[in-house]
Amino acid sequence: MFTKKELHGYETVINGIQKKTLVHGDRTLMTEFRLEAGSRLPGHEHSHEQTGYLVKGKLRMVVGNADYFVEAGDSWCIPGGVKHSAKALTDAIAIEVFSPVREDYLPKER
């Protein structure tokens, strides 16, 4: 699968946080998240391994019992089943890859 840049297709996950699935295959799915400064992603866990890269901004992430200050250029990998949360300290953009594919993130129009 190959996709070209599109300016539309974002959906609000939580107030101040938008997501857009960029591309997916049989075993992975890549998503862009846009976070407004001050927005919070509450603690949650899922079965998917989650690998991410912060393109822009600053975040505070809690993964399990560890607390991380994340800046543009930093990356992470969160194993499936581990509780995690995030707070946007500034406006931020993150790219994350999930494995296996998150069925709930598959685009409806594709």
> Is residue 55 assigned to a domain?
yes
> Is residue 108 assigned to a domain?
no
> Is residue 16 assigned to a domain?
no
Whether the model clears a pTM of 0.85, i.e. scores above it, the answer is yes
Quickly list DSSP for 29-66.
EEEEEEE-TT-EEEEE--SSEEEEEEEESEEEEEETTE
pLDDT tens for each residue of the chain, 110 residues long: 888 888 888 999 999 999 999 999 999 999 999 999 999 999 999 999 999 999 999 999 999 999 999 999 999 999 999 999 999 999 999 999 999 999 999 987 64
User: What local confidence, expressed as pLDDT, does residue 110 receive?
Assistant: 45
Q: What is the CB neighbour count within 10 angstroms for residue 71? A: 13
> Is residue 43 assigned to a domain?
yes
| CATH for 59 | 2.60.120.10
> Is residue 109 assigned to a domain?
no
Structural domain total, the chain: 1
